[in-house]
Amino acid sequence: MRQSAGPAIEMMLASMMLERIMLRVRFLDRRDALARLGAISSPGLGVLWGRRRVGKTRLLLEWCRAEGGLYTVADQSAESVQRRYFADAVGERVAGFAEVAYPDWRALLAALARRARHGEVPSPLIVDELPYLVASCPSRTSTLQAWVDHGAKQAGIRLVVAGSSQRMMQGLVLDRSAPLFGRAAQAFALEPLSPAYLGEALGLGAAREAVEAYAVWGGTPWYWELAAPSGGDLVGAVDALVLDPAGPLHREPERLLLEEQPSAAALRPLLDAIGAGAHRVSEIAGRVGQPATSLARPLSRLVELGLVRREVPFGEPERATKRALYRIDDPFFRLWFRMVVSHKAWLAVAGRRERQVRARPLLHRLAAECWEELCRRAVPRLGSARLGGRGPFGPAARHWHGSAPEHDVVARSLDGGVVLLGEAKWSERAAEPAALDRAYRELVDKGLPPAVRTAHDEVVHALFVAERPRRLGKRPYLVLDATDVLRALA
């Protein structure tokens, strides 16, 4: 009797199937990343890393196509098979290269350098998923280092290596003991796309809709690709892709944690605890049954992976505070832990209509939470015209302290003379003039957070709403809406 594949194999196969789906969204933004890649001269080395699904491969393929370069990608095969695949990829563009049986990587790379010296190897040469090559043979990093220092340099090769294992890629380049330390002309992480481009990608008509979609899909291009056919039907897309047990993203976070190198599956209990509402280290430790002192390293790795953020109140030192909170940072992971993890049994038997009815209020709450975060991100990038001639401002943050009133948005101008206090409102009724005036009075009544209390500060009050009223008239406070915020984040 045939046995079913194990969970790891099932997840790998599902991921491979996803990668083969036709791209539906045109290549967006990435101007800064393209500029950095384009600044790599011959000979030169570039190193790129970032989370899975963030768009590294798409970026490299677009750049490689524009430059007429040679793209190769490693896999998790045995070392001899990896060499064969690499030689086959090079052989597609370099005649006869794949017809030789190379006994080891040193011989293969030496042959590649010889062909490059004769101008036969297209430039740039890209090696995607480099960690797969290194994982099967750690000593290969020294072979690569020697080749970069000598063979590739003498042959004038413009080499770019990339990978999804952030820890391994940074370990190759950024640590002083790393084999490629100091050798890369460009070394950077590819960040998720800005929400400013989501409306264009999904064909949405209003900035408010883009914020709602970003609260679900985040800045991950792959999720945008999958959601594109649904257009503005966000609830339908979430149901079909995530809530439906047969949906392609129903087990997505489990796959991503397993595919990290080394595997991040052991971090799952921490994510479960944070996703369920435990935000202080002591609370997380209690949920997972471990001493709080043992969580520093795994929590740091979750922050490093971009899945969790460490939040401190405005005005307090980043490392010195004991009031830090840990929250799920990735919007899709936040959605998954709120809607899937704790409802798996119910989702297995619920119908489409039942799932969508339950999803609507949860999606609204996620949008409101995401809106508050986007407002803080936008403050340092808002032009002075939108800030009543004040600013520019430094990074914004929340402020909380015991039973004192909480402030959604607090920022100080770069010259130190102006403090911005903001409140983020998401409901449609919150944007009515009477509701805005009421929210302003409540914001004023909160007073100044202790961290910014000084007699010399000018205080600017701002209300962030989904859509600004058309006829608001002059008010003693600023009103900014989703259009303002998304433009600032473009």
pLDDT digit string, tens, across residues 72-110: 999 888 889 999 999 999 999 999 999 999 999 999 999
Q: Do 225 and 334 reside in the same domain of the chain? A: yes
Residue 180 banded pLDDT, cuts 50, 70, 90: confident
- State the Cα–Cα distance between residues 347 and 433, nearest whole angstrom: 41
Residue 7 banded pLDDT, cuts 50, 70, 90: very low
Q: Which domain holds residue 240?
A: 204-373
- State the Cα–Cα distance between residues 109 and 157, nearest whole angstrom: 11
Question: Does 2 reside within a domain?
Answer: no
Q: Do 36 and 160 reside in the same domain of the chain? A: yes
- Mean per-residue pLDDT, 207-235: 95
Polymer length of the chain: 490
pLDDT score for 181: 86
Q: Do 255 and 136 reside in the same domain of the chain? A: no
Q: Do 181 and 213 reside in the same domain of the chain? A: no
Taking only the tens place, the pLDDT of each residue in 31-45 is 999 999 999 999 999
Q: Of the candidates 317, 351, 373, which is a domain's last residue? A: 373
Q: Of the candidates 189, 212, 235, which is a domain's last residue? A: 189
Question: Does 4 reside within a domain?
Answer: no
- Mean per-residue pLDDT, 384-391: 85
Q: What is the total count of domains within the chain?
A: 3
Q: Look at 170-179, 239-248, 376-385, 397-406 and tell me which has the smallest mean pLDDT.
A: 170-179
Question: Mean pLDDT of all residues in the chain?
Answer: 90
Q: At 274, which CATH number?
A: 1.10.10
Q: Do 355 and 403 reside in the same domain of the chain? A: no
Question: Does 328 reside within a domain?
Answer: yes
* E strand or H helix that includes residue 136: helix 130-136
- Mean per-residue pLDDT, 414-423: 92
Q: Do 353 and 405 reside in the same domain of the chain? A: no
| Residue 286 Cα to chain centre, angstroms | 28
Question: Does 379 reside within a domain?
Answer: no
- Mean per-residue pLDDT, 281-300: 96
Q: How many helices (H) and strands (E) does the chain have?
A: 22, 12
Identify the residue with better confidence: 177 or 23: 177
pLDDT score for 14: 40
Taking only the tens place, the pLDDT of each residue in 120-171 is 999 999 999 998 888 777 677 889 999 999 999 999 999 999 998 777 787 7
What the block records as the tokens of 39 is 């600044």
Question: Within 13 Å of residue 322, how many CA atoms lie on the same side as its CB?
Answer: 4
pLDDT score for 385: 83
First and final C-alpha spacing in the chain: 56
Identify the residue with better confidence: 302 or 29: 302
Q: Do 177 and 210 reside in the same domain of the chain? A: no
Question: Does 368 reside within a domain?
Answer: yes
Q: Do 285 and 138 reside in the same domain of the chain? A: no
Q: Is the separation of the CB atoms in 30 and 189 below 8 Å?
A: no
Question: Does 114 reside within a domain?
Answer: yes
* E strand or H helix that includes residue 103: none
The structure's pTM equals: 0.89
